[in-house]
Structure 1
């Protein structure tokens, strides 16, 4: 497919997308002004919107964005499956779980930081000093099928343990946070804002991060119904570009990012700065065969763990036609 700038909207973009994807019969509808498009964006914890606003990247959007906020990826993917949102970002683990669960979505963009950003943490002063000490302990991987669940499975395997060697307590992020504070779980697999707040407020210790276990892939998914509309495809392409520029802003404006994220998470700047490398490492990667193979590996890992069953060809869920610069 011919590629072109995501910033070139209006008649030209609409016509090109329509002609290449849907034929001349739909060209007329594709050429409508993008100001009539409402893109429904699912946002985990509201972090994406907050960062894009801090970076000044929501000032010139040529379409309307309808935001909805969800506490975790599982909730976001429920919204996508119910067609209550058009697009949303989540790690590859819950994305694959959602697809296996029948969600009619496609992977349209990916951003990776190599596995940073998710960690297994223990309380300050915990007797757990190494991953081998996890045997017999109660661990919350947060929600089943989440990136933290994937991390916990990988950590146990790395320690020569199996899930039967520990007690897994699947909890929502909020409930897991409360359980961690109350001392009713010994370790917690978590990410993002929850990680920042717990390390900052409770001085929790990172036992191990996701590097070498998790891919660090942050998948932007879109519903099949949204991708059937060439005008929304153009809007999705623009939104993905803004997300990419948001990561660029973080890399080029460390102090501004730390100021923003400290305020957003209500944590001190020293805590946020310690987590900054996971944000600064994000880069956009191609949506190609390599990504499809990585997603397939996630699926096979879930099957091995008994989380998912059956067969699935993830290559069929990788949308390669999103316009890029």
Structure 2
């Protein structure tokens, strides 16, 4: 699909779907304007993007060179990371301009006084993360996690999922033994039986389900909304304050394409990540549709503040934080 056609169909969607549109999308339309075809932004000179295997909209934008077309004078670089904490570390030290993460990494970063701003979010996807157990496990409920070893990435969305699961089970955080591992290492430990459970998100979740016959002890439903967030460095925003609109616009053009090209997206994600096609399909099918990027709403900020408060209460982060202070306000 051409860039012009992508823009035209997305603009048409905005016009025809407006009456039933969520508040976030109404805000997005107001933010982006109503022109059928948006002009490219010639002012951005550099755009360094951090993404993960779970970043479907970024993957499609990369494949179709949407940012390259939107920012014709910029040097665009794409950098893949295993998880959100690593992306925000790179953002904080000035190696990236924008990145995409789950809900917990920006809370960790803000609590550590690392510079960042939330610029957009995607719809909650609680079914896209889970606490998995081996196919031979006898565990059947969360309370049985007491005394168990759970693999997870520290500071990731899986971290919050485990915090919430432990709380729901009536256990204390000290009742479990967290084993801090990045996804690849956690998968190896899970396969070897070195841990009793693994808290993880898609597509690693889908891969373990299909290839390892992992069982689901719980998903994020009722525990964690599991939002996706787009974040930017303060320096990039200071130098390119109008670029946020263009960035969100391109993310949403990619998502619009995904919605109408599920089969092609499945193949592209499989090719780009090395996932098997059936794993890629489960991953994409579990993703909310649409998954547009939009400015943070009051509810999203409140949900994120609850996460931060929970981590502060448990002294997982060193101090209380105010999420609103890290939300970018476009001029």
Which residue number in structure 1 is paired with residue 3 of structure 2?
none
**What SS is found at the alignment partner of 2:127?**
coil
Answering whether residue 161 of structure 2 is matched by residue 139 of structure 1, we say no
Distance change >3 Å, CA 174–CA 261, structure 1 → 2: same
CA distance in 1, matches of 2:327, 2:55: 25
Displacement of 1:109: 0.7
Which residue number in structure 2 is paired with residue 152 of structure 1?
162
Which residue number in structure 2 is paired with residue 24 of structure 1?
none
CA distance in 2, matches of 1:250, 1:242: 13
Q: In structure 2, which of residues 289, 300, 310 is the aligned counterpart of residue 291 of structure 1?
A: 300
CA distance in 2, matches of 1:37, 1:285: 24
Which residue number in structure 2 is paired with residue 101 of structure 1?
112
Answering whether residue 326 of structure 2 is matched by residue 310 of structure 1, we say no
Displacement of 1:272: 3.4
TM-score by length of 1: 0.82
Does the 8 Å CA contact 1:288/1:320 hold for their aligned counterparts? Answer: no
CA distance in 1, matches of 2:278, 2:194: 28
Answering whether residue 258 of structure 2 is matched by residue 228 of structure 1, we say no
Which residue number in structure 1 is paired with residue 310 of structure 2?
301
Which residue number in structure 1 is paired with residue 207 of structure 2?
197
Displacement of 1:196: 2.6
CA distance in 1, matches of 2:134, 2:323: 38
Distance change >3 Å, CA 278–CA 295, structure 1 → 2: same
Distance change >3 Å, CA 50–CA 286, structure 1 → 2: closer
CA distance in 2, matches of 1:267, 1:226: 33
Does the 8 Å CA contact 1:106/1:319 hold for their aligned counterparts? Answer: yes
Displacement of 1:192: 2.1
Aligned-residue RMSD, C-alpha: 2.6
Displacement of 1:309: 2.9
Q: In structure 1, which of residues 194, 211, 230 is the aligned counterpart of residue 221 of structure 2?
A: 211
Which residue number in structure 2 is paired with residue 83 of structure 1?
94
Does the 8 Å CA contact 1:55/1:249 hold for their aligned counterparts? Answer: no
Which residue number in structure 1 is paired with residue 246 of structure 2?
238
Which residue number in structure 2 is paired with residue 25 of structure 1?
none
Does the 8 Å CA contact 1:118/1:148 hold for their aligned counterparts? Answer: yes
Distance change >3 Å, CA 4–CA 161, structure 1 → 2: closer
Distance change >3 Å, CA 256–CA 56, structure 1 → 2: farther
**What SS is found at the alignment partner of 1:228?**
helix
CA distance in 2, matches of 1:280, 1:57: 22
CA distance in 2, matches of 1:272, 1:3: 33
Q: In structure 2, which of residues 255, 258, 261 is the aligned counterpart of residue 253 of structure 1?
A: 261
TM-score by length of 2: 0.81
Does the 8 Å CA contact 1:114/1:216 hold for their aligned counterparts? Answer: yes
253-262 or 94-103, larger mean C-alpha shift: 253-262
Note the residue ranges of structure 1 that are not aligned, 5 or more in a row.
Answer: 14-32
CA distance in 1, matches of 2:198, 2:286: 18
Distance change >3 Å, CA 68–CA 54, structure 1 → 2: closer
Note the residue ranges of structure 2 that are not aligned, 5 or more in a row.
Answer: 1-26
Give deviations 1:61-96, integer Å, cap 9, x for gaps: 334311122111111111011011011010121111
Which residue number in structure 1 is paired with residue 60 of structure 2?
51
CA distance in 1, matches of 2:39, 2:191: 49
